[in-house]
Amino acid sequence: MSVIDTLEERGYLKQLSHEAEIRELLSKEKITFYIGFDPTADSLHVGHFIALMVMAHMQRAGHRPIVLLGGGTGMVGDPSGKDDMRKMLTPEFINHNVECFKKQISKFIDLSEGKAIVANNADWLLSLNYVDMLRSVGVHFSVNRMMAAECFKQRLEREKGLSFFEFNYMIMQAYDFYTLHKKYGCIMELGGDDQWSNMIAGVELIRRKDSQPAYCMTNVLLTNSEGQKMGKTVGGAVWLDSNKTSPYDFYQYWRNIADADVEKCLALLTFLPMDEVRRLGALKDSAINEAKVVLAYEVTKLVHGEEEAKKAKAAAEALFSGGNNMEDVPTISVTPAELNTSLIDILTANKVFVSKSEARRTIQQGGLTLGDKKVTEIETKLTNDLFDAEKSILVRKGKKKYYRLVLQ
């Protein structure tokens, strides 16, 4: 089975620039391809997950990936899917994020010598001469075609419009592909379907400028059965960095997805054989919980490693299945000096809530429980008498998020 058959069977593929040629190419040859990641934060998030899985499937099939980190394009920011211009990021912030991305991507991709290439487009974009760029690259772009691109059309219809600054992003991304083609023999770009216009621009630039074959394929975006993007919670994005989203919270996110999304997520986000994916996806009613546990465990293992996945699974079972081992429930240490201070302050400082206003709303809506009692007063203080004989107390946020406060 060719890798394209695997990608198709698992539901990754959305659009292909030259479908017949791509199918023949991937069934007969080993190619160099790339996927770009703009370092706009210090962690990848669930939205990047599918692209990483596609890259991993391609590498497992013998194709060579280029991980392109956007140290240059991150200075501008992709307008695709954005209602307003992105905040300008400092070079220091971008460089820090680039290093964070490398560590996270290495969990999915073998970055050892000869197996993959890690490149940073800052190496060529930041030193470009503007007039030379216009003469050698800009001449191949039609403004009419660019304006017809979906990412630009949506912005132009809005009051704030589109800045010339952002208008250049498509040209920069196309030039990335052209550079990687020249430097490494890269002939294919992969990425999310929201990148289609930018990716086609790169394919056309190589074909026009060098009269050589180039291709692109887009993957589906991670959406639920209602068409909404997955990977968001009340507290914000679901991150792949354990310091931003704990392995337990990460596990719980997948454990609690809708029944209708289980089979798709098993196919897209795990390496389980498709026969097993279909078996699990066919489970009904309460039996579907078996599939959700498998999904949560497999996805957490991929991102955080087997040990953290086992801990998260054990913690969830202790809370929901009557188990006794509470050691793996996310733990917050409380010092004696913090006693008799605001519960909201302690929980917000330890990232149970993203803000005090979220904490207040949760209490007002009856969504915070301390021990076996619902917290009803916003001014509740954490006192010594609340802790049990083992100097701990369980905090429940909403219906399914648990934390253990331990007095030191």
Residue 29: predicted pLDDT: 95
Residue 322: predicted pLDDT: 55
Token look-up 């300008």 returns 88
Rounded to 5°, the CA angle 75-76-79 comes to 140
Own/partner long-range contacts of 154-163 (Cβ < 8 Å, ≥24 apart): 155/79, 155/82, 155/83, 158/83, 160/83, 160/84, 160/85, 162/79, 163/85
What are the average pLDDT values for consecutive 10-residue runs of the chain, which has 408 residues?
Answer: 95 97 96 95 92 97 96 76 64 91 93 94 92 88 80 71 79 95 98 93 95 97 88 76 90 92 97 97 94 96 95 83 62 84 87 87 87 82 79 80 82
Rounded to 5°, the CA angle 39-311-224 comes to 55
Euclidean distance between CA atoms 19 and 145, whole angstroms? 22
What's the CA dihedral at 254, 255, 260, 264 to 10 degrees? Answer: 40
Euclidean distance between CA atoms 403 and 326, whole angstroms? 10
Euclidean distance between CA atoms 225 and 206, whole angstroms? 37
Euclidean distance between CA atoms 21 and 65, whole angstroms? 19
Contacts of 14 (CB under 8 A, 6+ apart): 193, 217, 218, 219, 220
**Domains along the chain?**
3-219 (3.40.50.620), 232-320 (1.10.240.10), 331-407 (3.10.290.10)
Residue 235: predicted pLDDT: 60
Task: Indicate which residues carry an active-site annotation.
Answer: 40, 45, 48, 82, 86, 173, 194, 229, 232-233
Euclidean distance between CA atoms 47 and 42, whole angstroms? 14
Within 10 Å of residue 63's Cβ, how many Cβ atoms? 17
Rounded to 5°, the CA angle 294-297-300 comes to 145
Q: To the nearest 5 percent, what fractions of the chain are helix, strand and coil?
A: 50, 15, 35
Residue 281: predicted pLDDT: 95
Token look-up 């969504």 returns 367
Euclidean distance between CA atoms 238 and 265, whole angstroms? 15
Rounded to 5°, the CA angle 38-41-44 comes to 75
Tell which residue, 57, 6, 59, has the closest CA to residue 30.
59
Within 10 Å of residue 107's Cβ, how many Cβ atoms? 14
Within 10 Å of residue 342's Cβ, how many Cβ atoms? 17
Residue 154: predicted pLDDT: 73
